[in-house]
């Protein structure tokens, strides 16, 4: 037999107060407000009765009243990637404190999937979106912004938009990863990157080029571009690099680094004895292979916190003109004791 749902009328009867008073107290509690405009003891009695009767508020009615669902959507490229998974967890934890529920989705770098996810989330009535843009999705994201849906971009940016964003100083990070290898005496350094036209990737490549040029190594600049679904070609790149006496690689992402590390060991070589490595973010593969790898530690918690706070601010001020805010986070280089040929190099200029 189905149990009848408890209503505010039941609470009012049990507590000996009016339905209007119960409604006022419960609505204030749901909105995170104090109820002290009502007698404190009365408000507390109402809340205790509601808990005793296991009252479940009517969220649909609350949504109609406020125009909000207190639900946000977070769309990343791959939720299984540790970088995005960790950020997603930070967003979820902080959203919970603000009484928001979070829906997650992955694009797999596919703009059609991004468009589909946005439509699904819109149909669920989300109040706003945090999006990691993928290649070919610029127009899709611009259209979302035109539909008066609050949007914050994460990790990557879209040109010619006035959307707020939280990104890493990727150019500086590209400089620091390359500089870590040069500092250890390596001069034949190449970069393995993606062919995708993404702001964070292109800026990391700029940092690599800048650092190599400042160190007088511009003639050794070489960037290998791979499709994200063709990472098996790293094997071929590594074998060719060995024949050309390449000493070290800068990998544009931790996924590329993990695949590169596997390729190096599969071919019977070691890190850093045969190839030194620097990349973005740590990876479990580094521990498995017991390798010393320099990497940029990205401020995961800051990414999640800043993005969520920006989005909530945009949601709460949805009907007011808001200037876009660009938050640029500072990378931290971690050098895991890379043994190399120590040399002194001039201090590189960083921007």
CA atoms within 13 A of residue 44's CA, in its CB half-sphere: 3
Q: Give 31's contacts (C-beta < 8 A, 6+ positions apart).
A: 66
Dist CA 261 CA 283 (whole Å): 10
| CB atoms inside a 10 Å sphere around CB 159 | 7
Highest mean pLDDT among 15-19, 122-126, 143-147, 177-181 belongs to: 177-181
Residue-wise pLDDT for 179-194, tens only, equals: 999 999 999 999 999 9
Residue-wise pLDDT for 247-295, tens only, equals: 999 999 988 999 999 999 999 999 889 999 999 887 776 666 677 788 8
Could you tell me which residue, 180 or 324, shows the higher pLDDT?
Answer: 180
Dist CA 90 CA 242 (whole Å): 41
| 8 Å CB contact between 211 and 351 | no
Does the pLDDT at position 199 exceed 70?
Answer: yes
Question: Which tokens go with 174?
Answer: 């590209």
Give the pLDDT band (50/70/90) at residue 14. Answer: confident
Dist CA 123 CA 136 (whole Å): 23
The residue among 306, 297, 301, 304 whose CA lies nearest residue 333 is 297
Q: What order of strands is seen across the sheet that includes strand 332-334?
A: 223-226, 189-194, 248-251, 276-280, 294-297, 332-334
pLDDT for residue 287? 66
pLDDT for residue 59? 55
pLDDT for residue 285? 67
Task: Give the pTM.
Answer: 0.77
Residue-wise pLDDT for 137-194, tens only, equals: 999 998 888 888 899 999 999 988 889 999 999 999 999 999 999 999 999 999 999 9
Residue-wise pLDDT for 296-311, tens only, equals: 999 999 999 999 999 9
Strands 332-334 and 189-194: unpaired
pLDDT for residue 223? 98
Residue-wise pLDDT for 21-77, tens only, equals: 887 787 776 655 555 467 788 888 888 888 888 887 765 455 544 557 899 999 999
Question: Which tokens go with 230?
Answer: 């063709």
| 8 Å CB contact between 181 and 278 | yes
Question: Which tokens go with 225?
Answer: 């571009």
Query: Which whole-number Å values give the CA distances from 210 to 170, 221, 319, 320, in the listed order?
Result: 12, 10, 43, 41
Could you tell me which residue, 232 or 31, shows the higher pLDDT?
Answer: 232
Which residues face 131 on adjacent strands?
75, 153
Give the pLDDT band (50/70/90) at residue 320. Answer: low
Q: Give 56's contacts (C-beta < 8 A, 6+ positions apart).
A: 5, 6
Average pLDDT, the chain: 86
| 8 Å CB contact between 190 and 223 | yes
Q: Where are the beta strands (DSSP E) in the chain?
A: 71-76, 101-106, 128-131, 151-154, 164-168, 189-194, 223-226, 248-251, 276-280, 294-297, 326-329, 332-334
């Amino acid at each position: 037999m189905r149990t009848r749902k408890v209503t505010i009328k039941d609470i009012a009867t049990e507590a000996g107060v009016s339905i209007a008073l119960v409604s006022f107290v419960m609505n204030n509690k749901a909105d995170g407000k104090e109820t002290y405009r009502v007698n404190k003891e009365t408000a507390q009695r109402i809340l205790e009765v509601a808990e005793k009767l296991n009252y479940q508020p009517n969220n649909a009615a609350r949504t109609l009243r406020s125009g909000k669902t207190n639900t946000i959507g977070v769309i990343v490229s791959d939720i299984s990637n540790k970088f995005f998974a960790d950020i997603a967890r930070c967003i979820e934890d902080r959203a919970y404190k603000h009484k928001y529920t979070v829906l997650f989705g992955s694009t797999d770098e596919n703009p059609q999937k991004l468009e589909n996810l946005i439509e699904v989330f819109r149909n669920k009535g989300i109040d706003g979106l945090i999006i990691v843009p993928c290649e070919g999705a610029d127009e899709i994201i611009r259209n979302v912004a035109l539909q008066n849906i609050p949007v914050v971009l994460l990790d990557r940016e879209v040109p010619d938009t006035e959307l707020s964003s939280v990104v890493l100083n990727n150019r500086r990070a590209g400089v620091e990863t390359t500089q870590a290898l040069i500092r250890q005496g390596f001069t034949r350094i190449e970069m393995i990157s993606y062919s995708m036209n993404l702001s964070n990737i292109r800026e990391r490549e700029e940092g690599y080029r800048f650092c190599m040029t400042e160190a007088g190594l511009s003639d050794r600049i070489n960037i290998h571009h791979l499709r994200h679904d063709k990472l098996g070609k790293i094997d071929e790149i590594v074998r060719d690099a060995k024949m050309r006496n390449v000493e070290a690689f800068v990998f544009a992402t931790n996924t590329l680094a993990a695949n590169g590390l596997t390729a190096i060991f599969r071919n019977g070589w070691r890190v850093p004895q045969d190839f030194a490595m620097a990349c973005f973010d740590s990876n479990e593969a580094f521990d498995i292979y017991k390798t010393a790898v320099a990497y940029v530690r990205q401020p995961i918690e800051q990414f999640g916190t800043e993005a969520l706070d920006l989005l909530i601010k945009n949601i709460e001020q949805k009907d007011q003109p808001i200037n876009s805010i660009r938050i640029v986070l500072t990378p931290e280089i971690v050098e895991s004791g890379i043994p190399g040929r120590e040399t002194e190099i001039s201090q590189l200029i960083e921007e």
